[in-house]
Structure 1
Amino acid sequence: MVQIQTDYSNLTRERNELNNSYNILAEEQDQLQKRFEEMNNERKDFQRMIQDKCHCGCWRSFGSKYYYISSEQKTWEESTEDCRQKGTDLVIINSEEEQQFLIDLNKRVWIGLTDQEKEGVWKWVDGTALSTRNWLPSQPDNYREEDCAEMKVNVHRSFLKWNDIPCSQNNYWVCETVDV
């Protein structure tokens, strides 16, 4: 009889501990759900803001990102600054799909690639080293102090479209948002 009483007391204690754990987990789940909803609403607000700007025809979505395609031409530095003022940066090409998206714009644009820091060492504007290479044949050639990269159009049907040109040249540009 004493053993039954002890077992009953132990089971009651374990049940109470499990109930406490359940209540704590339920509260954490509620907090996580609220935070998820807040973040989802922030994402929707950002998307609405971008869509409002799309009426001017300058923002386009692709995948989980938005891209600003300029309608005027500036130097690479001026283009970089314009992107930063928008809270973005010049486009960093991370996939074949993104490369094709930019090709499909059919517009000669700056991309966020430069070797200004050290000649021949190409880096993206976020400081990452170049891993994918989509240079036109015989590019980069640094023909005239060419330290900035552009995406050319109307040159053969190849996937290879990058070209190095002087950063002081005027060009259209593409800014890229972070994942939303």
Structure 2
Amino acid sequence: MDLEDIYQNVECRDIESTTGAQTQSHGRDEEKDLKHRGSRRFVVISVGLGVICVLLLVFIILLNITIIAERDMIKSYKNTVEELNRTINSLQYNNTDLMTQKHQLQNNFNSLNKKGPVYFFMSTELSWSDSRQYCKDRGADLVIINTEEKQRFISSLVSERVWIGLSDSENEGVMKWVDNSTLKQGFWFKDQPNNYNGNQDCIELNYEREKPGWSPLNSWNDFSCPVKKKGICEK
């Protein structure tokens, strides 16, 4: 073997050695690259799974909140329905009770109409003539007091000055009731009637019990007819 052959063999071995080293290095690089890509995929998958878990958790929480809200709403609705049912039952009971009372009052009213007159006080103050019209509009007239018993009874009811159905407006000094009957027995307060200032033609019942001389049988007083006061109606 000559020198040239030896040189060539050495070169071949060097080339093979270098090529082998390069191949081995390239293999390690590919392995590292595969590991790196695998690690990156793992991270991406892990992050994706984490996001999915978070979304599932949020969904579950929202679902629970919705279920709880619906359950509370159903419970509230049920309570409202029960309360409405109780109110309806109460109203039905009250209506039945009111109807019973109405029938009882109607029966009492009918009974009073059969037994005797019905008295009621006016709710507003009017002149004597307007007071009489007020009573007439309600199927009545100003009260007529023609007995001592009735005078005592009416006197026990009043707590203010009130018109009664007596006047001498048509003929001064001639007292007549609203049914046109002439006064036969009067229950006058002391020194009454006096026709003060010449214009007192209508009669009131005076309730001033503490006034000297007043009594249930001495309480009438003549007064000016246009003066407004309440009256007692008799039906």
Alignment of 1:34-73 (within 5 A): 48=106, 51=109, 64-73=116-125
1:125 — aligned with what?
A: 178
Matching residue of 2:207: 153
- SS at structure 2 position matched to 1:153: coil
Structure 1 residue runs of 5 or longer lacking an equivalent are 1-44, 53-59
SS at match of 1:68: strand
Per-residue CA deviation, residues 28-65 of structure 1 (Å, 9 max, x unaligned), is: xxxxxxxxxxxxxxxxx9x728859xxxxxxx99x611
Query: Which residue type is aligned with residue 179 of structure 2?
Result: D
Deviations 1:79-125 (A, max 9, x none): 00001111111000021121111111233110000000010100001
Matched residue SS, 2:222: strand
Q: Which amino acid aligns with 2:227?
A: Q
- CA–CA distance in structure 2, aligned partners of residues 49 and 81 of structure 1: 27
Q: 1:98 maps to which residue? A: 150
Structure with larger RCO (C-alpha < 8 A, sep 6+) = 1
CA distance in 2, matches of 1:95, 1:111: 14
The structure whose residues are more often helix, as a share, is 2
| Percent identical residues | 39
- Structure 1 pair 64–162 and aligned structure 2 pair: CA distance change class (3 A): same
Q: How many equivalent pairs are there?
A: 124
Which structure carries more strand by proportion? 1
Q: Which amino acid aligns with 2:117?
A: K
Alignment partner of 2:222 out of 140, 143, 164: 164
What residue in structure 2 maps to residue 109 of structure 1?
162
| Structure exhibiting the larger radius of gyration computed from Cα positions | 2
- C-alpha RMSD over aligned residues: 2.4
